[in-house]
Amino acid sequence: MNQLMKSNDLKDSIIISDTTLRDGEQTFGIVFSNEEKLEIARQLDALDIQELEAGFPAQEGSERTYLQELISRKTNGRISARVLGWHRPLREELSWSVKLGLDGCCSSTPITPYMIDSILRSTPDKILQAQRSALAFIKENGLYAVSDFQDAFNADHSFLFDMIQMSEEIGADRVRLCDTVGRTDPFIIFETITDILNNSEIDVELHAHNDLGMAVANCVAATKAFEIWYQSHKKIPSRKLYLTTTVNGIGERAGNTDLATLVGALKVGLNINLSVQESRLSSVCDYVSQASSRPIPINAPVVGPNIWSHSSGIHVDGVLKSPANYELISPEFVGKTNTARRLGINKHSGKRAVQHKFAGLGIPLTDEAALKLLPQIREGTIQNKRMLFDHELVDLVNRSQKPS
């Protein structure tokens, strides 16, 4: 049980910014049509995701056409989420978010010594001045401004805070700390977010990558840091923590923070009542899976079908008595029905699982009959290296009932 917060305390302070339409589409091998991107935006908006990082306004052709239609739909009230464009800190690029009528801009720059030297062939001072100019341009044009720092957790500490201070002074709405190659662990995330919260006043965002499998854990660590800070700073109730996600965790390399997993971790694990309609998660995950040609893994957290699949004897018995015995998240939580729950039988199954399975086939079994079938079922699953098909199970019953 989470002892720090009541479920509603952070409802308006933890904001999900989804980048499926930008970082998600940067996944190797994924290309969405404009129609698919607009449908993804619609479904995310229906999920009550409050912000969409929608793409690259400076890119000509179909990307700009799609963004024009997206903004048209927002203007007509068909979506309500804030729409951001992603840019380098160049005014000629940023101007396209202004021209297209987007709500805001993300100005992104590397801030580690290695990236500044190897990618930009520049210096920290020039990077700071370029970002200052970009942020000033965004605010001069009345747009929401995100100051984005690539590889932020590997940056020189003093330069990171110079960039944060500059962003705050110029009027940026928040800073985004990117764990660009997914190297950072939750302990460093917790310490760094705490440090920034205690030594600045600007809103903070964590943009995590999953190269070491820690993206969701890092977002949880950032949330815990914000929880603790919030408890002693309730006089600043408007300050917010933003967390970047993508549907199904798609994104560069190993991907970004998975939306469904994070929602489950925060709502179920931390008892935070996010402003997200989790009952729509299954629908958007299925749609993005289809549009990206990337199947949802059967053991995916929160939405994977194995979340509600049981075959071992103790687990099946427990689930038949109450699903909560061995399920943290119900099918209904993500918008499925209880038909998503599967109870099968294999070599580890027990009497109750066998009786339940055969009852579903219209064949009630006594305790004695079920126990008699168990050795045959176990042998059959071992020989076939799989669960037995229904017709094979029926054959076993028929053979067992023949007079010897």
Residue 2 covered by a domain: no
Q: Are residues 219 and 363 in the same domain?
A: no
pLDDT of residue 24 exceeding 90: yes
Q: What tens digit of pLDDT does each residue of 188-234 get? A: 999 999 999 999 999 999 999 999 999 999 999 999 999 999 988 87
In this prediction, residue 11 carries a pLDDT of 83
- Please give the mean pLDDT across all residues of the chain: 95
Three-state SS for 191-229 is: HHHHHHHHHCCCEEEEEEECCCCCHHHHHHHHHHHHHHH
Q: What tens digit of pLDDT does each residue of 37-74 get? A: 999 999 999 999 999 999 999 999 999 999 999 999 99
Tokens linked to 214: 């820690």
Categorize the per-residue pLDDT at 3 as very low, low, confident or very high, splitting at 50, 70 and 90.
very low
Query: 103-130: string of b/e by CB count within 10 Å (b at 16+)?
Result: bbbbbbbbbbeebbeeeeeeebeebbeb
Residue 156 covered by a domain: yes
Residue 299 covered by a domain: no
pLDDT of residue 19 exceeding 50: yes
In this prediction, residue 235 carries a pLDDT of 59
Burial of residue 341 (number of CB atoms within 10 Å: 0-12, 13-18, 19+): middle
C-alpha span between 207 and 179 (Å, rounded): 6
Categorize the per-residue pLDDT at 403 as very low, low, confident or very high, splitting at 50, 70 and 90.
low
Q: Are residues 138 and 184 in the same domain?
A: yes
Kindly state the percentage of the chain with pLDDT values over 90: 90
Q: Are 111 and 155 in contact (CB under 8 A)?
A: yes
Of 292, 314, 345, the residue at which a domain comes to its end is 292
Q: Are 205 and 176 in contact (CB under 8 A)?
A: yes
Dihedrals φ, ψ of 44, to 5°?
Answer: -65, -40
Q: Are 153 and 188 in contact (CB under 8 A)?
A: yes
Q: Are 264 and 301 in contact (CB under 8 A)?
A: yes
Q: Are 265 and 14 in contact (CB under 8 A)?
A: no
Torsion-angle region of residue 277: left (phi > 0), alpha (psi -120 to 50) or beta? beta
Q: Which domain holds residue 215?
A: 14-292
Burial of residue 139 (number of CB atoms within 10 Å: 0-12, 13-18, 19+): middle
In this prediction, residue 2 carries a pLDDT of 45
Tell me how crowded residue 338 is: count the other CB atoms within 10 A of its CB: 10
In this prediction, residue 4 carries a pLDDT of 47
3-state DSSP assignment of residue 399: helix
C-alpha span between 272 and 391 (Å, rounded): 46
Q: Are residues 332 and 253 in the same domain?
A: no
Of 292, 320, 349, the residue at which a domain comes to its end is 292
Q: Are residues 255 and 319 in the same domain?
A: no
Q: Dihedral sign for Cα 25, 30, 35, 36, please.
A: negative
Burial of residue 268 (number of CB atoms within 10 Å: 0-12, 13-18, 19+): middle
Q: Are residues 270 and 321 in the same domain?
A: no
pTM: 0.93
Q: Are residues 215 and 310 in the same domain?
A: no
Residue 55 covered by a domain: yes
C-alpha span between 120 and 371 (Å, rounded): 71
pLDDT of residue 7 exceeding 60: no
Residue 4 covered by a domain: no
Q: Are residues 333 and 388 in the same domain?
A: yes
Domain of 100: which CATH number? 3.20.20.70
Residue 6 covered by a domain: no
Q: Are residues 320 and 288 in the same domain?
A: no
Dihedral angle over CA of 165, 166, 171, 175, nearest 10? -70
Burial of residue 59 (number of CB atoms within 10 Å: 0-12, 13-18, 19+): middle
Q: What tens digit of pLDDT does each residue of 230-270 get? A: 988 875 668 999 999 999 999 999 999 999 999 999 999 99
Q: Are residues 325 and 252 in the same domain?
A: no
Q: Are residues 146 and 226 in the same domain?
A: yes
Dihedrals φ, ψ of 15, to 5°?
Answer: -115, 130
Q: Are residues 343 and 279 in the same domain?
A: no
Q: What tens digit of pLDDT does each residue of 320-349 get? A: 999 999 999 999 999 999 999 999 899 999
Q: Are residues 266 and 317 in the same domain?
A: no
C-alpha span between 399 and 192 (Å, rounded): 66
Tokens linked to 117: 């030297």
Q: How many domains does the chain have?
A: 2
Residue 354 covered by a domain: yes
Of 254, 270, 292, the residue at which a domain comes to its end is 292
Q: What tens digit of pLDDT does each residue of 284-312 get? A: 999 999 999 999 999 999 999 999 999 99
Question: How many Cα atoms occupy the beta-carbon half-sphere of 326 within 13 Å?
Answer: 19
Q: What tens digit of pLDDT does each residue of 150-172 get? A: 999 999 999 999 999 999 999 99
Categorize the per-residue pLDDT at 399 as very low, low, confident or very high, splitting at 50, 70 and 90.
confident
Residue 7 covered by a domain: no
